[in-house]
Structures are given as structure tokens and as C-alpha cells.
Chain A
């Protein structure tokens, strides 16, 4: 599996695995996992909701690591990784925030419940958005990479504190969504779904990175042409 700017290493493998896992997850969600007692079918939303959520936070973790490595090595490849990861992370965070209210509307008859994890995800969305605002505000490549790396690090370190403070803030009786044990077969379905979304994350990330690398190469070629003329 050759790698180049256009077709990164193992991309085909990731693409196929994503497809396969997504199908497996659909099967696991609808035909393998048992029907939940109270919410019945609507509970099935929980799998994509949580699957996307874990990967949204994982994506931000990758932004964090890539930012640190960039600051240490100044290799722009890590900035490309951070930006791509942030894009897909923002996508997944959006999915969490869209599926959450749909589930909540049915289960608790309210579109939004200020549940700590959901609220933290909302703030995560804003931090992701802020990350892109910082990126769009700086024109020069290296400077943009440094500033967004710094913000990525600060943003990520903030997330646990945000979670704790939101949790303490709302500690009047809140509905604990996944409290209590999870039926083992539900757990299996959840794991498959989380993995499926993880591979989807990898697939989309690679595509975004390849695009950015291509764009950059094109820029460089244009620069060289301009100089040689």
C-alpha cells in the first residue's frame, strides 16, 4: 500500500474496514442488542450518540498530541493532522449534539436537559469552533500552526475541568443516562459502534489530510513558478 500525498498509507484498508464495521454495527444495534425496557427502540440512538461522543473527545486528544509534537518539532505535517482531526472532531461533536436532543425529546420530553456530559460536549463544540476561528485569523502558515497548537493544548486541558464543574453545577437530581449496568450484549454493540466510528474518523481524517497536503503542494508549485518567471 503505497503512500503519497494523495493516497495515504493504508487508506484503502481503512475505507473497507470502516464500511465493514459500520455494517457490523448496524447489525449489532438492531439485531443483536436486546430491546431496552423503558425506552424501547429509541434507546438504539444511544449507540451512535455515545460512539460519536467518545471519538469526538478522542479526536480532540489527537489535536492535543499533534499540537504538542508540532511545537516540539515544528514539522508542519503535525499541524495538518491537528487541523484534520479538529474538523472530523467538530463533525462528530455536531452529531452528538444533534442525536442527544432527539433522544432526550422522546425519553424525557425535553429537547435539552443540561446533562453534564452533553453540556460538556456543547462547550467542546465551542472550543473546536474557537480553534477554527484562531486558524482562520492568521494568514501565515507557520504562525497559524503555532497559535492553533497553543490553543489546542489549552482547550484540551480545559475539558476535564469543564466536565467536573458542569457536573457539580447540575447536581440536583439529574437523569443519569448510562448509569447502572449495561447489558453485556448492549456493551458489545456499543464497542463495535465505537470502533466503527473510530475507523470512520481515521478515514475522514486521512482524506482531509491528503487534501490539505495536496493543496499545500500546489501552493508550493505556484510559488516556484512565480519565482522562476
Chain B
């Protein structure tokens, strides 16, 4: 079986497992929604505060929902030695990593697709910049989050108290993504004023470089994480 077909098969498996119960997806979505509501109460949404704070809230929602999904992605494999089963399949270990990353990415994007409009509605926010650019920027940030998140989730799965450990080890490492994504989102939401265009490009480049570096490093080091 070719590399990509194996990858596809693994992703299919994850998707199939999830669609049986839709438990994780719904938890992620509800959690994201809860974050929105809590922030709505925490910040009395006057127009000025909202526009300042909105990109940040967006990404906090994505991050927290994302961590929830990441925790589940490997926790499920720990039971019944599923992970061992995966490792016994005749695949290059990196396929497992990429497949997990791909399925995590799809889940998070699915949650985003539903919760993003909800964010805009509840905060009565007007999008000034182009929609495609906003989506591109959000996807770029999500990729960075998922790339590092999947790798560290696999690492944390080897420890006890892995569910508490993951956010603690993930958040410091993910800082550049959060900073960059919030900055980019803020600029796009404000309609990309010409004086900020250079800054947007700069941040996009940073996110891109982060993604490439961490994807590469994760691929190189994943074998060690899965060793028995």
C-alpha cells in the first residue's frame, strides 16, 4: 500500500471512530461555545472593548477546544493497547503522526466552522477584511497548533496524568502560534489597513516558518515518542 493510502486509511479510521459517537466533536464544540459565553459575560461588549479583545477570545476558544480534542486523540489509543496495534502495522511511524495530525486538524476545523459564525453573531462583530484571508489566517494558525499539539499529545500519552500534562507542556511551546495568529486575525478583522499590511505579511511568514520547522522536527523525532 502506498504511503498516502496508508495515511488515508488511518485518517478514515479516526474519522469513523469519532462519527460513531460524535462525543469528542460535540464536547469540543460545546466547550468552544461555553468559552464564548463566559467571555461575553466577562467583558461587557461595548464596541471598543469587543474589537480589541475579539481576536484573542477567538484564539482562546480555538486553543481550549483544540486541547480537548488533542487529549482525546491519543487517550483513546491508550486503552486496549490500540497504540501497540497501530505500531505493529507495517507503516512508517511518521504515517501515524501525520494521520493523527490530519484527523485532529479536520476535527478542529469542523468545530471552528460551527463556532466561528457563532462567535461573530454573539459578539455582533463586523468583519472588515476579506473573508478568504480570515479563513486562510485561521487555518495557518490551526495547522501550527495541530502540528505541535499532536506531537506533544503523543509524548504526553506516555506519562501518567497525561491529560493535565498536555496543556502544561503545550502552551509554552505554542506561544508563537498564538501570538502570530491573534495578530494576523486582528489585522484582517480590522480590514487590513495599508500601514499594517507589511506587519501582516511578516506574521504570516513567521507562522509559516513555525509550521515548517515544527512539522519537520516532529517527523524526525516521532519515532522516539512511540518507542516501546
User: Contact residues of A with B, CB < 8 Å?
Assistant: 71, 123, 126-127, 129-130, 133-134, 137-138, 143, 146-147, 149-151, 153-155, 157-158, 161-162, 164-166, 168-169
Q: Are B175 and A123 in contact (CB under 8 A)?
A: yes
Q: Once bound together, how far apart are the Cα atoms of A147 and B155, in whole Å?
A: 7
A166 to chain B, nearest CB (A): 7
Interface string of B184-227 (1 = CB under 8 A from A): 00000000000000010011001001100110010001001101
Q: Are B159 and A162 in contact (CB under 8 A)?
A: no
Q: Once bound together, how far apart are the Cα atoms of A12 and B162, in whole Å?
A: 42
Q: Once bound together, how far apart are the Cα atoms of A169 and B199, in whole Å?
A: 10
Q: Given contacts A123-B175, A143-B158, A157-B213, are A165 and B221 in contact (CB under 8 A)?
A: no
Q: Are A130 and B224 in contact (CB under 8 A)?
A: no
A159 to chain B, nearest CB (A): 10
Q: Given contacts A137-B160, A147-B225, are A157 and B165 in contact (CB under 8 A)?
A: no
Q: Are A127 and B221 in contact (CB under 8 A)?
A: no
**Would you list 20 pairs from A and B whose C-beta atoms are within 8 A, ordered by A residue?**
A129-B168, A134-B159, A137-B159, A146-B224, A146-B227, A147-B159, A149-B224, A150-B155, A150-B221, A150-B224, A150-B225, A151-B152, A151-B169, A153-B217, A154-B148, A154-B217, A155-B173, A157-B213, A158-B175, A164-B206
Interface string of B170-182 (1 = CB under 8 A from A): 0111011001100
Complex interface: chain A residues within 8 A of B42 (CB):
none
B119 interfacial by beta-carbon distance below 8 Å: no
Interface residues on B, range: 20 to 34
Q: Are A154 and B173 in contact (CB under 8 A)?
A: yes
Q: Which of B172, B179, B227 contacts A130 (CB 8 A)?
A: B172
Q: Which of A149, A153, A154, A165 contacts B175 (CB 8 A)?
A: A165
Number of A-B pairs, beta carbon distance below 8 Å: 87
Q: Are A165 and B206 in contact (CB under 8 A)?
A: yes
Interface SS of B by simple majority: helix
Complex interface: chain B residues within 8 A of A168 (CB):
179, 183, 199, 202-203, 206
A72 to chain B, nearest CB (A): 11
Q: Once bound together, how far apart are the Cα atoms of A136 and B152, in whole Å?
A: 16
Question: Which residue on B lies nearest to A125, using beta carbons?
Answer: B172
Complex interface: chain B residues within 8 A of A158 (CB):
172-173, 175-176
B29 interfacial by beta-carbon distance below 8 Å: no
B38 interfacial by beta-carbon distance below 8 Å: no
B100 to chain A, nearest CB (A): 16
B164 to chain A, nearest CB (A): 9
B67 to chain A, nearest CB (A): 14
Q: Once bound together, how far apart are the Cα atoms of A136 and B172, in whole Å?
A: 18
Q: Once bound together, how far apart are the Cα atoms of A149 and B199, in whole Å?
A: 35
